[in-house]
Amino acid sequence: MVLVARNRERLQVLAERLQREHNIEVQVAAADLSNPDDIVEIAQKIGNQWPLDLLINNASIGSVGLFHRQPVAAETAQIELNVVALVQLTHAVVPHMVAAGHGTIMNLSSLSALPPSPCSAIYGATKAFVTSFSESLHTELSDTGVTVTAVMPGAVRTEFQQRVGEHAFDKVPERAWMSADAVAVSALSAAARGDALHIPGRKYQAVAAAAHLMPRALLRTLARRTAPGQTSI
Ligand SMILES: NC(=O)c1ccc[n+]([C@@H]2O[C@H](COP(=O)([O-])OP(=O)(O)OC[C@H]3O[C@@H](n4cnc5c(N)ncnc54)[C@H](OP(=O)(O)O)[C@@H]3O)[C@@H](O)[C@H]2O)c1
């Protein structure tokens, strides 16, 4: 197993725990996947050193607020991490998986990919990209033994809330939250089955079905009402 994130100390602690509890070999690679040089370095390692049979593109960041009031560098860094890194790491792994005749790619999207995301416009757009890209690739690779699964969770209690800003989630009702463990178990089962799209949790599956049936104008009105933070100028 190879773990990639920015904080090396936390990766080491997790790696030691996984090694101890599961008797597996775990490597860590500290990298900032919003930095183009780091993305290339990790992609090269995937291409040359790490024979992966499961790639999980998990790392993402979001931001909350009116688009034109956000620093543009932070918005483009979001695209770099949520989209560019995911594309490059996937591009590096697919040839090996196709040659081996098997492989699994799990891309973390979000339920935010479905409706418009006012006040989180870049995040929503990156997740719409991830869903569309993953489903297309799943279809392209359908005869190869390689599957691509886009996972679209709703609200999950993680450090994401602190990173984006606790108040951004004030409108999410208590009953809507899922645990990270429940989402991970559900997502890994879907990826093992080779599902193209997966929404963890029956409640969120119902929400997604309703969103698909709604006229876009109604969806925009609802999205504006439930958007995080200030929605008007
Ligand atoms: N939480 C939710 O409500 C929710 C809902 C829908 C979808 N999702 C999606 O689920 C995925 C996981 O999110 P999460 O909630 O678990 O977020 P999280 O708690 O903030 O964890 C993000 C992980 O990504 C790593 N990371 C962040 N920026 C990075 C960078 N620039 N380079 C490399 N690694 C980086 C972090 O480690 P370091 O800080 O050490 O780098 C951390 O391990 C994301 O794709 C997110 O969009 C989350």
pLDDT means per 10 residues, the chain with 233 residues, are 98 98 97 96 94 96 95 96 98 97 98 96 98 98 98 96 86 94 98 98 97 96 86 67
Strand-by-strand arrangement of the 103-108 sheet:
54-57, 103-108, 146-151, 197-198
Pocket test for ligand 1, best of 8, 60, 162 (most atoms within 8 A of CB): 60
Is any ligand 1 atom within 6 A of the Cβ of residue 5? yes
Active site includes 204?
no
Closest-CA residue, ligand 1 atom 33, reads 5
Radius of gyration of the CA atoms of the chain, in A: 18
The CATH number of the domain covering residues in 34-226: 3.40.50.720
Nearest to 89 by CA among 134, 44, 125: 44
Of 42, 86, 88, 123, which one is the catalytic site residue?
123
Closest-CA residue, ligand 1 atom 24, reads 59
Amino acid 228: pLDDT = 84
Which residues lie closer than 8 Å to 215 by C-beta, 6 or more apart? Answer: none
- The model carries a pTM of 0.97
Q: What is the DSSP string of 58-94?
A: -------S-GGGS-HHHHHHHHIIIIIIHHHHHHHHH
65-102 b/e with 16+ CB inside 10 Å = b? beeeebeeeebebbbbbbbbbbbbbbebbbebbeeeee
Q: Where are the domains of the chain?
A: 1-30, 34-226
* Local structure of 44: helix, strand or coil: helix
Amino acid 38: pLDDT = 97
Amino acid 230: pLDDT = 64
Amino acid 231: pLDDT = 62
- Which residue type does 81 have? L
Quote the CA–CA distance of 106 and 148 in Å, as a whole number: 6
The answer to whether residues 185 and 233 touch, using CB atoms and an 8 Å cutoff, is no
